[in-house]
Amino acid sequence: MNFSRHCVRIFAPIQKLGRQPKNPCLLLQRTFHNSTPLAEIKPFLLPDIGEGIKEVQIIQWFVEPGARVEQFDKLCEVQSDKAAAEITSRFDGVIKKLHYEAEDMAQVGKPLCDIDVQSDSAVDESPAPFQVEQAGSRASPQQPQKAVKQHQQEGPDKTATDTSAISKSKPASLATPAVRGLLKELNVDIADVSGTGKDGRVMKDDVHRFVEARDAGPGSAPPTQFSRPSSGEGEVQIETRLKLSPIQSQMFKTMTRSLSIPQFLYTDEINITPISAIRERLNHQSTSQRLTYLPFIIKAVSLALEEFPLLNSRVEVGDEQDSPQLIMREKHNIGIAMDTSQGLLVPNIKNISSLSIIDIASEISRLQSLAKAGKLSVTDLTGGTFTVSNIGSIGGTYVAPVIVQSEVAILGVGKARTVPAFDEQDRVVKREILNFSWSADHRVVDGATMARMAERVRGFVEEPGAMMTRLK
């Protein structure tokens, strides 16, 4: 078969138009070629992690520009006002750009990093990529993932510099924002502190121990900004400006919004002597789960909410054109205010009405352990419908708790006290009492409704038998 004759026949129409190719077959061959697919840079947006959180702080990066990632590989760890979370990749590709440095505040819905999703072919054809040694099969919190070809081409000096930069950024990833704020306040380099927390995380106690040892050591001196001024300096006040931690920033915003809601306080004194006797008897019989007063109180609140569902609702204000609405909620997800090294956290126990008192006690223990380790999940911290703040575990008799915007009521529990009281025969007896302080949204809850709810809870606590008959 004469291929050239066929080529001439194919390009005959071109010849009639006066555009005679010098070699038609060569022209035909040039129409078939391979091309490198165009790179597609996709911005990876910081996903919404719920509960109205608009910004988070970058704790650490697990990747660097040039690192290859696959779906569900860890990109970074972030800290909100409620908990730390790991962000994973949605794409396969190569990291092209990080939009934030460690400790920067990142906005939800904004690009976190850029990923080249078409770079796999280019990487596969290259020699073995530069790789930072990792401390295990998964990404180590202190070492980013492997980098691709351009790191090899930049030479050993550039590689050493990059590795040094990565190493210098390690300390920022070993402490929560609250602890880092304390480090700045006390003028302590985190690299000098040995962490006793999980994965070597530096805790507040570690910082305080280090400062005590440093100040007590020979030749040591306290930080200049907090040292006592000498007599020659007069009465000059020394001030240090500190940024709020993510938890403090979110608390600032949340409480500012909450205090724009008109709320009222209702307090009462509760006799917990009967529950105290039951609790001691149960704790003596079983050592598997120690019972405090709190599970009984939470269960009593849930039983009362069945009669007063308004106090389990939330208010939806909407736009100026829309009238406010009440959103009624069926499940009782009761939050427990907890004091942690990171600050105030309020995880919640889901669907209290379906749990026994022992189940509630177990859930409280689980949440306290996770909060202490800084491992509360987003699920634990979102979806609350009512809050109980047991300030009495620290101290104090009375409290004026502040409701959050997504709820209409909150209960503050004071410290248990033993007091003398009169019984029905006017004899002086010993009683254990607690002070309950209720706050409610006065836009939708009137004082009479709150008082009836409080009286119902008081009845369940002071007469545990009535509560037991309502348990399912």
Q: Give Cα 203 to chain centroid, integer Å.
A: 17
- DSSP for 284-321 reads HH-SSS---HHHHHHHHHHHHHHH-GGGG-EEE---SS
User: Catalytic: 446?
Assistant: yes
CA distances in angstroms from 298 to 334, 360, 388, 467, listed in the order given: 8, 8, 7, 12
User: Catalytic: 124?
Assistant: no
Whose CA is closest to 238, among 177, 185, 180? Answer: 185
Choosing from 48, 104, 215, 446, which is the catalytic residue? 446
Whose CA is closest to 115, among 62, 48, 64, 166? Answer: 64
Whose CA is closest to 87, among 110, 60, 117, 114? Answer: 60
What gap in Å lies between CA 291 and CA 358, rounded to an integer? 8
Contact (CB, 8 A) for 238 and 224: no
Choosing from 99, 120, 268, 442, which is the catalytic residue? 442
7-15 long-range contacts (CB < 8 A, ≥24 apart) are none
CA neighbours closer than 13 Å in the CB half-sphere of residue 96? 17
Residue 3 CB contacts under 8 Å (≥ 6 apart), including other chains: 25
Strands 343-345 and 338-340: antiparallel
Q: Which H or E run contains 468?
A: helix 464-470
Residues serving a catalytic function are 442, 446
